[in-house]
Chain A
Amino acid sequence: MAKAKGLCAVLLLAGTLAGCATSGGNPADPLEPFNRAVFAFNDTVDTAVIKPVAKGYRRVVPGILRTGISNFFSNLEDVWTSVNDVLQGKFQQGVDDFGRVLFNSTFGIAGIFDFASELGFQKHNEDFGQTLGWWGVGSGAYLVLPILGPSTIRDGFGLLLDTQADLVFYIDGVPVHNSLYGTRAISNRANLLDASSVIEQAALDKYTFVREAWLQRRRNLVYDGDPPREREEPDDEPTK
């Protein structure tokens, strides 16, 4: 609950700041000064703590076990994914995703093995932010959340509900509960180590690069990988 309250406070703060912040370069990012500060903070925490731990995790834990851990959390996610499928009217996808949970929870031993994918039942990526987007809610301003990273006003509210629907949240016993949160965070970060090394190499300005990539990624997810084409070369067609 504390986590949800904290997130709520950040969202409200962001809403207030939106009123007074001056617009930087991108109209999608009116909160840029605030966001840049949080981004710098997150980057510091990541470099100092999260990334080294994730690297250690990848070095020490054998690949097959890391896959099992990653699958375990992914299986829990699939429950909420299937609810969001239904909320978006994607009933077949909802049945498939719920089938994945049933199958992987039993034959896949509590989700450690993802046999459903091997049988051709592909995992989908849905969350409440995407459901809101599917319903036509615009993404709102870009928002960098402390520790949680890039988001938008819409996806931040989506995340509030995602947190409530998080099955790990309902597992009893604070130590178990917290160690599961921690393991999940490290496992997720470890899965992103390669991607983050590519971003380090690619970006001239990491902040704008991550913002642009993240906004494109969310748009792509809302449209399930097939967004309407945007004009690629605005105003620069050579005059004929």
Chain B
Amino acid sequence: MNPPSDQNPMAMKLPFYALFALLIPLAHAQQPVAPDVLVKSITEEVIAILKQDKDIQAGDTKKAADLIETKIVPHFNFIRMTRIAMGRNWRLASPEQQKVLADEFKTLLVRTYSTALSNYRDQQIDYKPLRAKPEDTEVTVRSEVKQSGSSQPVAIDYEMEKTPNGWKVYDVKVGGVSLVTTYRDTFASEVREHGVDGLIKSLVAKNRQPERSKGGKT
């Protein structure tokens, strides 16, 4: 369809796009995107990719993990998530241990999320109006996922905080179950029995286990 041309139009427009790319962070710094708008736009973007990606649909969790790493991870505060999951034991960990813990916990959550994404079918997501005042620095963005084959929607709530780098998610609650505090007991008993290093060791071991490819389909 395209007229033959020896010039790549994409290449010509590149400086133009680059300029836009530079402008975006500036725009963010001035006026952070509203938390509900942020969640909605990221979710829609990821779902649009999921719907087209046959590999992820077929259970390629590695590819799903890459998608999460680039699109979703930048909007999460993993340090705070790890701190919540650790509770009072957070202070027992040295700064180096804290960093390793947050990294390993991040990997675990990304892998878990990629398993969930590979199960994605054609759920419909509704967002509830944000109940927040403009000066609030912590908000809950509420959404509902309607699954085919189940008449009862599942509530997914995002707990978010305002930071200088925009709104960040620090907890996700699925049907009232917190992705973060659900680990609290496990982390506490691991630290009690084997110390902070023991917890790090078991997180590393868990993350090295082969991916359960194809999720629930196998």
B202–A236 CB distance below 8 A: no
Max count, chain A CB within 10 A of own CB: residue among B90, B119, B184, B185 = B185
Bitwise, A182-221 to B at CB < 8 A (1) or not (0) is 0000000001011011101111110011011100110111
Given A197-B216, A201-B112, A225-B155: A233 and B185 interface contact (C-beta under 8 Å): no
Distance A65 CA – B177 CA, assembled complex (angstroms): 30
CA A122 – CA B151 in complex, angstroms? 8
A70 partner, pick from B88, B149, B177, B184, beta carbons under 8 A: B149
Q: Which residues of B contact A208 (CB under 8 A)?
A: 185-186, 189
Q: A122-B152, A216-B178, A217-B175 are in contact. Are A194 and B216 (CB under 8 A)?
A: yes
In the complex, A136 has a CB within 8 A of chain B: no
Kindly identify which residue among B86, B171, B177 contacts A220, using a CB–CB cutoff of 8 Å.
B177
User: Taking the complex as formed, is A164 at the interface, i.e. its CB lies under 8 A from any CB of chain B?
Assistant: no
Interface residues of B in 136-192 (CB under 8 A from A): 148-153, 155, 171, 175-178, 181-186, 188-190, 192
| Residue in B closest to A74 when the chains form the complex, CB atoms | B151
Chain A's closest residue to B90 (CB) is: A236
CB distance from B159 to the nearest CB of A (A): 8
A19: interface (CB < 8 Å) = no
Q: Beta-carbon contacts of B77-111 to A below 8 Å, as 1s and 0s?
A: 00000011011101100000000000000001001
Residue in B115, B150, B153, B203 whose CB lies within 8 Å of A201: B115
A209 and B111 contacting across the interface, CB-CB below 8 Å: no
Query: Given contacts A221-B176, A236-B91, is CB(A216)–CB(B181) below 8 Å?
Result: yes
Q: Is A162 an interface residue (CB 8 A)?
A: no
Indicate whether B195 reaches chain A with its CB closer than 8 angstroms: no
Question: Measured between alpha carbons, how far is A213 from B178 in the docked complex, in Å?
Answer: 8
Q: How many A-B residue pairs have CB under 8 A?
A: 110
Chain B residues with Cβ below 8 Å from A201 are 111-112, 115, 211-212
Cβ of B215 under 8 Å from chain A: yes
Complex alpha-carbon distance, A23 and B115, angstroms? 34
Q: Which of B111, B181, B206 interacts with A212 by CB under 8 Å?
A: B181
Set of chain B residues within 8 Å of A74, measured between Cβ atoms: 151
If the complex has contacts A193-B216, A198-B112, A198-B115, are A227 and B176 also in contact, measured as CB distance less than 8 A? yes
Across the interface, B152 reaches (CB within 8 A) one of A24, A123, A205, A219, namely A123
Distance between Cα atoms of A89 and B5 in the complex (Å):
74
**Shortest CB distance A168–B (Å):** 18
CA of A139 to CA of B212, assembled, Å = 35
**Cβ of B116 < 8 Å from any Cβ of A?**
yes
Among B182, B192, B216, point to the contact of A209 (Cβ < 8 A).
B182
Chain A minimum-CB-distance residue to B214: A197
Closest chain A residue to B157, Cβ basis: A225
Residue among A63, A203, A227 with the highest chain B CB neighbour number at 10 A: A203
Contact check, B86 vs A122: say whether CB atoms are below 8 A apart: no
Contacts of A172 in B (CB 8 A): none
Contact of A233 with B189 in the complex, beta carbons under 8 Å: no
CA distance A114 to B152 in the complex (A): 11
B87 and A235: CB pair below 8 A?
A: yes
Residues of A within 8 A of B111 (CB): 201
Q: Which of A117, A194, A203 contacts B151 (CB 8 A)?
A: A117
A230 CB, nearest partner CB in chain B, Å? 8
A203 touches B84 (CB 8 A): no
B189 touching A219, Cβ below 8 Å: no
Name the 4 nearest CB pairs between A and B, nearest first: A220-B176, A197-B216, A194-B119, A193-B216
Question: What are 24 A-B pairs with beta-carbon distances under 8 A?
Answer: A63-B149, A74-B151, A124-B152, A191-B149, A191-B150, A197-B212, A197-B215, A198-B112, A198-B115, A201-B211, A202-B115, A208-B185, A212-B182, A212-B183, A212-B186, A216-B176, A216-B177, A216-B178, A216-B182, A220-B175, A220-B176, A221-B176, A232-B181, A233-B83
